[in-house]
Amino acid sequence: MASTNVVGILGGMGPAAGADFVRLFVQACAQQMRARGEPVRDQSFPEHWLAQVPVPDRTDALGSAENGAHQPLEPMLQALGRLAALGSQAVAIACNTAHAWHARLQERFPQVELLHMAREVAQHLAAQRAGSVALMATEGTYRVRLYDQALADAGLDCHVPLAEERRIITRGIFDGVKAGNMQLAEACFSQVALQLVQRHGPVTIIMGCTEVPLGLQGSAAVAGLSLVDPAQVLAAALARRAYRD
């Protein structure tokens, strides 16, 4: 049995997405074992820790004055420090928008490899030879252009929804998933996804907020579309770090 590294997951943004990230990570670890021809046993999973801590809303903070942008950083720094103290060699952040603080978090804890969701997704899409993509995300993620550089580096063209469609996505995130109204979430997200495909053709849609896949899971309305879940891609990347010799 290969020795494994301890890894951490920084969650709570929102908590349902953090829980789902652990599920995706456990699935990705089982795939690692199968790919190595090892039996899947409880004891072959790497030690991993999930921190779900209250963090002020990321998009709100990015939209306000300079002081606002510091609010989410402090609890994330504290949780990341604790994950590092628990022995985590690599940490994934289970929130797209929170990656606006990725550089500052990584800078403070250079001993931990802090994965970057957008870069992992861009590499994944480039390997799959995706052509055009469209990004469904929070206003905060659009504002800091989180995916722009990574997608451009991978040679991928990215479409973004119209202002009205972005408002519908925001409604699905906050009044839908975060408030527990999954029917509303599905209606909002599927409407925008279908409009993106009508306008731009068969693009791959990046569900670039961890709440979006939770709302679209099992949705018949988008069954034919090409969707990529950044949390799943990131969970697989974290599993590779855990099993790296």
Instruction: Give CA–CA dist 3/89, Å, rounded.
Output: 13
Q: How far apart are CA 58 and CA 205, in angstroms?
A: 22
Nearer to a copy of itself, 82 or 159 (CB): 82
Choose the binding region for a copy of itself from 52-60, 138-146, 189-197, 201-209 (rule: CB under 8 A).
52-60
Q: How far is the CB of 111 from a copy of itself (least distance, A)?
A: 18
Residues of span 4-23 touching a copy of itself by CB under 8 A: 12-16, 18-20, 22-23
Our finding on whether 86 is near a copy of itself (CB under 8 A) is yes
Q: Reduce the DSSP state of residue 114 to 3 states and report it.
A: strand
Are the CB atoms for 70 and 100 separated by under 8 Å? no
- As a whole number of angstroms, the distance between CA 225 and CA 68 comes to 37
Measured from the CB atom, the residue of 82 and 171 that comes closer to a copy of itself is 82
User: Whole-angstrom Cα distance, residue 219 to residue 166?
Assistant: 20
We find the least distance from the C-beta atom of residue 191 to a copy of itself, in angstroms, to be 23
- The answer to whether 229 contacts a copy of itself (rule: CB under 8 A) is no
Token pair in block for residue 206: 């990046």
Q: Which residue, among 203, 227, 200, 194, has the nearest Cα to 132 in the 3D structure?
A: 203
> Which residues form the interface with a copy of itself (CB under 8 A)?
12-16, 18-20, 22-23, 25-26, 29-30, 34, 39-45, 47-57, 82, 86, 178-180
